[in-house]
Structure 1
Amino acid sequence: MASTEGLVPITRAFLASYYDQHPFTPLSPDVSRLSSELRSMATDLLTQHPPIHGETTLINEAQTQPPHKIDENMWKNREYIEETIFLLEPSNCPHPPAPDNVEFSIMLPKLKDKLHNTLRTLESFQIKNAEHVFNTVMTYLPQDFRGTLLRQQRERSERNKQAEVDALVNSGGSIHDRYALLWKQQMDRRRQLAQLGSATGVYKTLVKYLVGVPEVLLDFTRQINDDDGPMEEQRHRYGPPLYSLTSMILYVRFFLSLSWARYEYKKLKREQFAVLEQAVDVYTMEFERFITFISGVFANSPFFIPADVAGAVEVSKIDDFKEASVPAGKTFEVILSVDSVNSYIAWDFSLVQGKINMDIGFSLEFVSPTGEKTLMLPHRRYESDQGNFCTLMAGSYKLIWDNTHSTFFRKVLRYKVDCIPPVTEPVQLED
């Protein structure tokens, strides 16, 4: 577990000074020029042939400004790239007569391949960035069974999310439907991270002191995506070029969609093909340059900084171990209150008794407000250093360690009782 002593979460002012050292070379003027030409050609098509059924949504989107969040722009670029690739599939392209068909057969596959490469670059960036964030946060958590638990939660949650996406696709969901779901899932991850940092009362005490999560990490998860928080500086610095690229690929898709729907009445001219081809070339080159740049900035950007840099704060060390003596023939009980629905209670302990491999019984009861007890985990004997966990509803619980099976040995028990959120997942923190 990396120490957070003397550290505080990054601030917007600190990120501003950090970003001063990493300016982004402006986009090529061709981005603006070609975007304008594509938009103009699309407008001409709509003027000559009014919108047909199903085009209203796309027209409205082309007239809307890109999202403010950098993360959402990344997902939008993925969506628009996939939509464009779909339009470039041979089965979805018009079939012009020769000699135009020869030009089609040469140019369109090249455009499709370039967009495929850019799509893979973007997907790789998002995966690596999520892993970097998750692994960095994990370095500030106790390196014991809790880390394993969090990783298991993450893997299980991601499997469930993928199953949800697969079910949508198998039921005939569109590319747009799939990306709407993917963005909803991403927002769910962000809310769960913020909820960890915003925990209050008994639950925060459990998270901070019993789980051993440093206060600085809780502050970080709560503040990182505030509207005027650290990531707003990132949006201010690097948002504008990304917004331009988001609009550009949208205009490529917009123009292609309108063109294919009207190809029977309005054949594309050679100069229009040239604009389309150049637009894809410039977009893929500039977008990949932006991704390469921003990857380096994100990978080296600190999450925490010394307190004397951002302002003095009080940071203390936390020892989350407790020790108890459980005599032979006796039990040891801990009463625990949980105020977060579907939390996890986790425990770990070690037994000190010479070189003998000792064990101890354990069970868990729910205690109702009237004092009625319900057995949650049946009594079972555990060996040394064997941890476990279960999902709980809000309420009071009694954790019972049982040494009644022993007639000779007193057990020296070191234990941790932890309450952590049901899902702690990686999120894109670049917005």
Structure 2
Amino acid sequence: MASTEGLVPITRAFLSSYYDKHPFTPLSPHVSLLSSQLRTMATDLLTNHPPTTHPEETTLINEANTQPPHKIDENMWKNREHIEETIFLLEGSNWPEGLKQQSATDNVEFSIVLGKLQDKLRHTLKSLESFQIKNADHVFNTVMTYLPQDFRGTLLRQQRERSERNKQAEVDALVNSGGSIRDRYALLWKQQMDRRRQLAQLGSATGVYKTLVKYLVGVPEVLLDFTRQINDDDGPMEEQRHRYGPPLYSLTSMILSVRFFLSLSWARYGSKKLKREQLAVLEQAVDVYTMEFERFISFISGVFANSPFFIPADVAGAMEVRKNDDYKEISVPAGKTFEVILSVDSVNSYIAWDFSLVQGKINMDIGFSLEFANPTGEKILMLPYRRYESDQGNFCTLMAGSYKLIWDNTHSTFFRKVLRYKVDCIPPVAEPAQD
């Protein structure tokens, strides 16, 4: 079991500095160009042959006119769905009758091209599925390294395996009952949201239940904080969306454009056959999409695999308060104390400090302690008195109220102590929202 002592969950500020070192090379300009061409071709089909009343076409048109989701993982699931739907359309058994009955020469030519597109999309689908499985396993295994490596860890692994088997059985039952690809992915996304909801509920547990989770099950406090904060609207994952969301959104739109045009074309093939130049655009679009999407998930896989979940609290604090990085100095006379009071409104905030003594050549120290005063005036000693020459530390607040940092020079009879210090309160990110 790896120690979490002195660690806090990653912050958005830390991820920002980490992502600075890992910029994504922009997508090929052909992504937007070909997406636009496909949309124009689809619009022409709808102009000459208005939308049908078929619910699947209505739903697809509405989706094509909507921006991609904001969440990274939802986009991944959407890409999987659109790839599978496109592969389904490209299968020979699902071609329109007019295409099946074309002349032998045209049929062979179209069959070769459409078969190649199908193969490329299948390869990309496998890459995406592998990425999602590896990413989920990486997160779980990393978290497991911070849990007791005894029967409790074994039980958690068994519980996860049982839960995943139940989820797969639910998907299989849907498919066997005739559920569509869209139905299956709606269920898969619901299951993904259920996983996140369970994590957030674990991290937000309070009172007796949280005590049981933390001490009986053996989950460190920092893991609970991590599960609660990781998907906050302005939390760490928002930085991920900010940095790497735009190229992924463009790729989601591109594969949707491929599927959208192909679906409209198949539905209208009797009166508007697919032209060779349109097939060439479709072929180029799939080529560019599969190449760029696989490049993106290969890049993002490396970034995610090397990104830490937890960092030292002093690093997190330093990054949050670097805009207010000036130290203050105060002279603490012999026999006196110096106090700094912080008012904390939000639980799970971090009080961070950095101080040192700067006077003289004599090895000197100063007493330091931290106490809490609740709204009724009751005082609770949070950190016991100890003597230091310097210290960098942090304390996660358990209650909102007034916190007093006390530097005590009462043990000294003759020497004043010049204290160089800075203190800050680092509030938690907003209440948890689902990514």
Offset from partner CA, 1:155-207 (integer Å, 9 cap, x none): 11111111100000000000000000000000000000111110001111122
Shift of 1:343: 28
Judged with a 3 Å threshold, the aligned counterparts in structure 2 of structure 1 residues 56 and 400 are, in CA distance, closer, same or farther, namely farther
Shift of 1:99: 3.2
Q: Would you say the 8 A contact 1:154–1:423 is kept in 2?
A: no
- Quick check: 55-64 or 304-313, which moved more? 304-313
Structure 2 length-normalised TM: 0.71
Q: Would you say the 8 A contact 1:69–1:235 is kept in 2?
A: yes
- Quick check: 81-90 or 418-427, which moved more? 418-427
Offset from partner CA, 1:381-400 (integer Å, 9 cap, x none): 99999999999999999999
CA distance in 2, matches of 1:4, 1:200: 20
Decide which of 144, 164, 183 is 1:138's aligned counterpart.
Answer: 144
**Equivalent residue runs for 1:102-251 within 5 Å:** 102-251=108-257
Shift of 1:335: 40
Shift of 1:380: 49
> What secondary structure sits across from 2:149 in the alignment?
coil
Shift of 1:40: 0.4
Offset from partner CA, 1:236-286 (integer Å, 9 cap, x none): 000000000000000100000000111110011111011000000000000
User: Residue 45 of structure 1 corresponds to which residue in structure 2?
Assistant: 45
Shift of 1:209: 2.7
Shift of 1:85: 0.2
- Quick check: 283-292 or 206-215, which moved more? 206-215
Offset from partner CA, 1:293-337 (integer Å, 9 cap, x none): 000000000000011101289999999999999999999999999
Runs of 4+ in 1 over 3 A off after TM superposition: 312-428
Shift of 1:105: 1.3
CA distance in 1, matches of 2:174, 2:76: 21
Q: Would you say the 8 A contact 2:38–2:282 is kept in 1?
A: yes
- What is the root-mean-square deviation of aligned Cα atoms in Å? 13.8
Shift of 1:213: 1.5
Judged with a 3 Å threshold, the aligned counterparts in structure 2 of structure 1 residues 232 and 55 are, in CA distance, closer, same or farther, namely same
CA distance in 1, matches of 2:213, 2:353: 13
Q: Would you say the 8 A contact 1:212–1:319 is kept in 2?
A: no
Shift of 1:6: 1.1
Judged with a 3 Å threshold, the aligned counterparts in structure 2 of structure 1 residues 298 and 355 are, in CA distance, closer, same or farther, namely same
Judged with a 3 Å threshold, the aligned counterparts in structure 2 of structure 1 residues 329 and 199 are, in CA distance, closer, same or farther, namely farther
Q: Would you say the 8 A contact 1:358–1:384 is kept in 2?
A: no
Shift of 1:211: 2.6
Q: How many residues align?
A: 425
**Equivalent residue runs for 1:288-327 within 5 Å:** 288-311=294-317
Q: Would you say the 8 A contact 1:192–1:423 is kept in 2?
A: no
Judged with a 3 Å threshold, the aligned counterparts in structure 2 of structure 1 residues 374 and 60 are, in CA distance, closer, same or farther, namely same
Shift of 1:82: 0.2
Judged with a 3 Å threshold, the aligned counterparts in structure 2 of structure 1 residues 39 and 336 are, in CA distance, closer, same or farther, namely closer
Structure 1 length-normalised TM: 0.72
Q: Would you say the 8 A contact 1:212–1:320 is kept in 2?
A: no
Offset from partner CA, 1:105-135 (integer Å, 9 cap, x none): 1100000000000000000000000000000
CA distance in 1, matches of 2:313, 2:124: 40
Judged with a 3 Å threshold, the aligned counterparts in structure 2 of structure 1 residues 137 and 76 are, in CA distance, closer, same or farther, namely same
Shift of 1:214: 1.2
- Quick check: 5-14 or 312-321, which moved more? 312-321
Judged with a 3 Å threshold, the aligned counterparts in structure 2 of structure 1 residues 325 and 144 are, in CA distance, closer, same or farther, namely farther
Q: Would you say the 8 A contact 1:130–1:426 is kept in 2?
A: no
> What secondary structure sits across from 1:334 in the alignment?
strand
Q: Would you say the 8 A contact 1:189–1:425 is kept in 2?
A: no
Shift of 1:339: 26
Q: Would you say the 8 A contact 2:14–2:319 is kept in 1?
A: no
CA distance in 1, matches of 2:157, 2:363: 29
CA distance in 1, matches of 2:418, 2:158: 30
Offset from partner CA, 1:373-427 (integer Å, 9 cap, x none): 9999999999999999999999999999999999999999999999999999999
Judged with a 3 Å threshold, the aligned counterparts in structure 2 of structure 1 residues 368 and 287 are, in CA distance, closer, same or farther, namely closer
Offset from partner CA, 1:75-114 (integer Å, 9 cap, x none): 000000000000001001135xx43212211100000000
- The answer to which structure, 1 or 2, has the higher relative contact order (CA under 8 A, 6+ apart) is 1
- Quick check: 308-317 or 385-394, which moved more? 385-394
Judged with a 3 Å threshold, the aligned counterparts in structure 2 of structure 1 residues 124 and 336 are, in CA distance, closer, same or farther, namely farther
Q: Would you say the 8 A contact 1:203–1:419 is kept in 2?
A: no
User: Residue 87 of structure 1 corresponds to which residue in structure 2?
Assistant: 89
Judged with a 3 Å threshold, the aligned counterparts in structure 2 of structure 1 residues 128 and 412 are, in CA distance, closer, same or farther, namely farther
Q: Would you say the 8 A contact 2:358–2:418 is kept in 1?
A: yes
CA distance in 2, matches of 1:407, 1:385: 23
The answer to whether structure 1 residue 418 and structure 2 residue 424 are counterparts is yes
Q: Would you say the 8 A contact 1:349–1:386 is kept in 2?
A: yes
Judged with a 3 Å threshold, the aligned counterparts in structure 2 of structure 1 residues 340 and 204 are, in CA distance, closer, same or farther, namely farther
CA distance in 2, matches of 1:105, 1:164: 36
Q: Would you say the 8 A contact 2:334–2:409 is kept in 1?
A: yes
- Quick check: 410-419 or 69-78, which moved more? 410-419
Offset from partner CA, 1:10-56 (integer Å, 9 cap, x none): 000000000000000000000000000000000000000111xx411
Judged with a 3 Å threshold, the aligned counterparts in structure 2 of structure 1 residues 100 and 46 are, in CA distance, closer, same or farther, namely same
- Quick check: 314-323 or 142-151, which moved more? 314-323
Q: Would you say the 8 A contact 2:229–2:432 is kept in 1?
A: no
Q: Would you say the 8 A contact 1:196–1:421 is kept in 2?
A: no
Q: Would you say the 8 A contact 1:210–1:416 is kept in 2?
A: no
Q: Would you say the 8 A contact 2:348–2:396 is kept in 1?
A: no
- Quick check: 284-293 or 267-276, which moved more? 267-276
